């Protein structure tokens, strides 16, 4: 992945220097534990008299919680901070940077996508820990793997999991690691949209088997949303390199319920699935990545959505295909938008500079030129040079790649917003020429 040098998120919370305990503390020492004995000896009235006296005494000394055992009960799962600096290898330090960059990239994607739906994206925290951690969802150990807690809207991950992903689950690579983060962020999206709470309510009164089916669909939707992020990370910021997609698909397959059950106990029990089979997880990740549209991730009502065929999938992600195939795939966005008379839609593509035009200096300045697609369609590019660098030394006949917002016209359409929007109202666009990105 091309992640180095990219923006880091300020939402990483480092708890690797802290330890959490799962002990339940002072329940055994509190006077509440003596109530059954007192009740047996003194009866209801006698117990009431004793309890009144104890409460009055506790209030008088200002330490009722300790007297009854409440405070130590609360301390049992407390997180204890260490004054020592976190010891980390150079490799772990780089991994922390990587996690921060990927989190920042998910923030860019989901701010833009939710804004288009008239919703506000609330950025989650990502907590790094070692061995164990306390969250609003309770105490957790590293063996549980990464998780998202809707109670505090935080993602929790022990970086040691990535070694397991590589060695135990045979899913190496930085994109496999990014997929894990994006999946948990998918659960955050579900929380913000109210999907998680609806699933919890729907589970009430259901049998274990039926409740598991809902859990599976919720997890597969998070896989699909992870794919949506990957689509936009590649289209908007060209984060992916050849081989990255295979890493993500390998990771999705490696942590399927059927694969894990077969490895742990030698047989598979579909009724006990909570995350989905390997094939299902791969399918829904591919659905999200092929379309980049979160509306396609309705695993609750569109569960039978077909798997994108290999050519469609390769064409849409435009990474590992050959040059000619990639060129055809890249122009298909614009061709479809033109044929369907669509405007205000994100497109990616490439074309040959047919004609250079004079800059538009009225108001905001724009560098303008005509691109000819493989299909023969011509598109006017209006590149804002007040907000982005000018494409230097551009000549007629040169090839240029783009990602921006398309506006339909009979002549072929206009491509604009090929740059970062400082107000965050439009998805980040770019132009790529001679290996350099102008954004």
Alpha carbon 334 to chain centroid, angstroms: 28
No. of helices (H) and no. of strands (E), the chain: 13, 15
Which tokens hold the place of 49? 């008299």
Report how far residue 219's alpha carbon sits from residue 184's, in angstroms, rounded to the nearest whole number. Answer: 9
pTM of the model: 0.64
- The per-residue pLDDT for 310 is 56
Please list, in sequence order, all residues whose beta carbon lies within 8 angstroms of the beta carbon of residue 379, skipping any fewer than 6 positions away: 334, 351, 370, 371, 373, 406, 412, 413, 414, 415
Q: What is the pLDDT along the chain (439 residues), one digit of tens a residue?
A: 888 888 899 999 999 988 776 655 444 445 555 556 555 566 665 666 666 665 555 544 444 454 455 444 444 455 555 546 788 889 999 999 999 999 999 999 999 899 988 999 999 999 999 999 999 999 999 888 999 999 999 999 999 999 988 888 888 889 999 999 999 999 999 999 999 999 999 999 899 999 999 999 999 999 999 999 999 988 877 888 878 888 888 888 888 888 888 888 888 898 999 999 988 998 999 999 988 999 999 999 888 877 776 555 554 555 433 443 444 344 457 887 888 888 988 888 788 899 999 999 888 999 999 998 877 788 999 999 999 999 999 998 888 888 899 999 988 999 999 998 888 778 888 998 887 889 8
Closest by CA position to 178, among listed 233, 254, 237, 135? 233
Backbone angles phi, psi at 97, to 5 degrees: -60, -45
Please list, in sequence order, all residues whose beta carbon lies within 8 angstroms of the beta carbon of residue 279, skipping any fewer than 6 positions away: 253, 256
Which tokens hold the place of 363? 């108001």
Which tokens hold the place of 321? 């295909």
Report how far residue 439's alpha carbon sits from residue 431's, in angstroms, rounded to the nearest whole number. Answer: 7
- Asked if residues 287 and 297 have their Cβ atoms less than 8 Å apart, the reply is yes
Torsion sign (Cα): 422, 434, 6, 405:
positive
Write the DSSP assignment of 86-114 as a string of letters: PP--HHHHHHHHHHHHHHHHHHHHHHHHH
Domains, the chain, ordered by start: 25-76 (no CATH), 90-317 (no CATH), 323-438 (2.40.50.200)
Rg over alpha carbons for the chain, rounded to the nearest Å, is 27
Residue 101, by phi and psi: left (phi above 0), alpha (psi -120 to 50) or beta?
alpha
What HEC string does 41-87 produce? Answer: HHHHHHHHHHHHHHHHHHHHHCCHHHHHCHHHHHHCCCEEECCCCCC
- The per-residue pLDDT for 125 is 96
């Amino acid at each position: 992945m091309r992640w180095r040098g990219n923006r880091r998120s300020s939402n990483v919370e480092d708890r690797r220097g802290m330890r959490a305990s799962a002990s339940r503390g002072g329940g055994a020492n509190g006077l509440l534990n003596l109530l059954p004995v007192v009740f047996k000896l003194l009866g209801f009235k006698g117990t009431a008299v004793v309890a009144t006296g104890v409460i009055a005494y506790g209030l008088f000394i200002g330490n009722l919680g300790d007297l009854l055992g409440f405070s130590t009960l609360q301390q049992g799962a407390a997180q204890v901070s260490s004054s020592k600096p976190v010891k980390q290898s150079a490799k772990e330090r780089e991994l922390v940077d990587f996690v921060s960059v990927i989190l920042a990239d998910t923030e860019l994607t989901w701010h833009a996508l939710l804004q288009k739906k008239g919703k506000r994206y609330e950025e989650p925290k990502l907590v790094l820990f070692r061995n164990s951690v306390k969250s609003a969802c309770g105490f957790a150990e590293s063996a549980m793997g990464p998780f998202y807690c809707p109670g505090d809207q935080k993602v929790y991950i022990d970086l040691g999991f990535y070694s397991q992903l590589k060695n135990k689950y045979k899913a190496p690579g930085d994109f496999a690691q990014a997929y894990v983060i994006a999946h948990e962020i998918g659960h955050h999206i579900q929380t913000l949209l109210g999907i998680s709470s609806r699933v919890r309510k729907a589970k009430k009164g259901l049998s274990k088997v039926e409740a598991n089916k809902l859990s599976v669909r919720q997890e597969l939707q998070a896989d699909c949303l992870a794919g949506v992020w990957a689509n936009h990370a590649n289209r908007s910021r060209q984060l992916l390199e050849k081989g990255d997609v295979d890493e993500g698909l390998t990771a999705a397959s490696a942590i399927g319920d059927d694969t894990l059950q077969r490895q742990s106990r030698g047989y598979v029990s579909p009724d006990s699935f909570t995350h989905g089979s390997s094939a299902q997880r791969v399918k829904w990740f591919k659905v999200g990545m092929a379309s980049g549209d979160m509306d396609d991730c309705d695993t609750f009502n569109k569960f039978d959505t077909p798997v994108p065929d290999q050519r469609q999938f390769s064409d849409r992600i435009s990474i590992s295909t050959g040059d000619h195939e990639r060129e055809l795939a890249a122009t298909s966005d614009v061709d479809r938008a033109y044929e369907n008379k669509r405007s205000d839609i994100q497109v990616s593509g490439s074309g040959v500079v047919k004609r250079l035009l004079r800059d538009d200096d009225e108001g905001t300045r724009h560098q303008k030129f005509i691109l000819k697609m493989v299909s023969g369609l011509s598109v006017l590019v209006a590149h804002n040079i007040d907000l982005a660098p000018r494409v230097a030394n551009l000549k007629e006949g040169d090839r240029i790649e783009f990602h921006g917002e398309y506006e339909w016209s009979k002549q072929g359409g206009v491509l604009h917003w090929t740059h970062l929007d400082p107000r965050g109202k439009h998805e980040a666009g770019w132009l790529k020429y001679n290996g350099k990105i102008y954004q």
